[in-house]
Amino acid sequence: MFSSERALNFNAPYGENSITVFPRGGLGNQLFIYATGRALSLRLGVPLILDLSWFRYHPDRKFELSLLASKEPSVNTMNSEGNHWRGPSSIGSKIYSAKELIWTQRKTMVRELGFQFDPRIMLAGPGDSIVGYFQSWKYFNDHAQSIRQEILSCFLSCTGDSNGINFKQKENELAIHVRLGDYTKGKASSVHGVLPFEYYSRALNEIENKMAVAKISLLSDDPARARLMLEELSMTHLEVRPRESAWHALEIMSKSSALIMANSSLSWWGAWLGGIDKRLCLYPDPWFAQETSESPDLIPRGWFSIPRW
């Protein structure tokens, strides 16, 4: 059963027989939220509603899943009229306080309790809404194949095939993802932080010991700075990609036969979408810069950890 933190009716027009989620953040975060809600809706046999109200208060971000939602008849978008993204001292993060999360006899809003897998989310039923980042493969593992195909069908090179069967991995190609941008300043710099040169050096050595690399694609939200950061690495056949759209970067990462990940949810999806069999996906350990932050349910089996420091 849910604890007393099972949630709250904002009198928004949520469907009586649907699951509602609240996409937020960039593409990687939005995909985690979508996949968790989608898996719930498939288990229950009900529609999925994507409530886009968060984006009204965060104009620096955009909803990235329009194509994905439009392809699935049982997935709908809406903008609720409630002000439930407004917090007492900030927008968004403060609103889900313990005193607000009270039992209601009808529709409920269930808040994820932390970064680790929260099994209460799996117990949500028709009419419920769920709130969180849901950064664990465990939320949607039982529907992994269908969700993977839904997302792959959105890649530009696969638009002629709704099942994504044109998806092919590039042999002996390595993608390296360097997340800079907001990780260089403010709270994100202390929580996530930019991965150091040493991580990428160790990861590249590991890759080169396991496969012959014919091409390297360097992907970053700041390509020139990323190249400068890694200039001491000996990388032949290197292509520094211009700043790509998030979807295009995701496609390149997922189609590479090896991936050196950043500590980024977009990197995570680039690894997961490409599958695990016969593929090298290297991730930083620990994932977070702060030692107090834990991510025990983030990484699936089959990926390889590389010391961050």
Same domain, 147 and 193: no
Is residue 70 domain-resident? yes
Q: What is the per-residue pLDDT across 260-284, written as a single tens digit (0 to 9) for each?
A: 999 999 999 999 999 867 789 999 9
Cα separation of 251 and 51, whole Å? 26
Residues 97 and 176 in one domain: no
289 and 203 in one domain? yes
For position 215, which CATH number holds?
3.40.50.2000
Tell me the C-alpha distance between 63 and 264, whole Å: 18
Q: How do beta strands 304-307 and 280-285 pair?
A: parallel
* pLDDT interval class at 64 (50, 70, 90): very high
Quick check: is 263 in a domain? Answer: yes
Do 131 and 226 belong together in one domain? Answer: no
How far is it, in rounded angstroms, from Cα 158 to Cα 166? 6
- The two beta strands, 256-260 and 304-307, are unpaired
Residues 283 and 304 sit within 8 Å (Cβ to Cβ):
yes
pLDDT for 6 beyond 80: no
- Domain assignment of residue 164, yes or no: no
Counted domains in the chain: 2
Separation between Cα atoms, residue 266 and residue 183, nearest integer Å = 13
Asked if residue 24 and residue 153 are part of one domain, the reply reads: yes
The string of pLDDT tens digits covering residues 114-148 is 889 999 999 999 999 999 999 999 999 999 999 99
Tokens of 298: 């983030």
Q: Tell me, yes or no, whether 241 and 144 share the same domain.
A: no
Q: Examine residue 144 and state whether it is found in any structural domain, yes or no.
A: yes
Domain that holds residue 124: 19-158
Tell me: pLDDT of 100 over 90.
no
Domain co-membership, 185 together with 124: no
Residue 5 forms part of a structural domain: no
Which of 158, 188, 219 lies at the terminal end of a domain, its last residue? Answer: 158
Q: Both 84 and 123 in a single domain?
A: yes
Q: pTM of the full predicted structure? A: 0.86
| Span 85-98, average pLDDT | 32
At position 105, the amino acid (one-letter code) is Q
73 Ramachandran zone, left/alpha/beta (phi>0; psi -120 to 50): alpha
Give me the mean pLDDT over the 95-107 stretch. 36
Residues 213-234 have a mean pLDDT of: 95
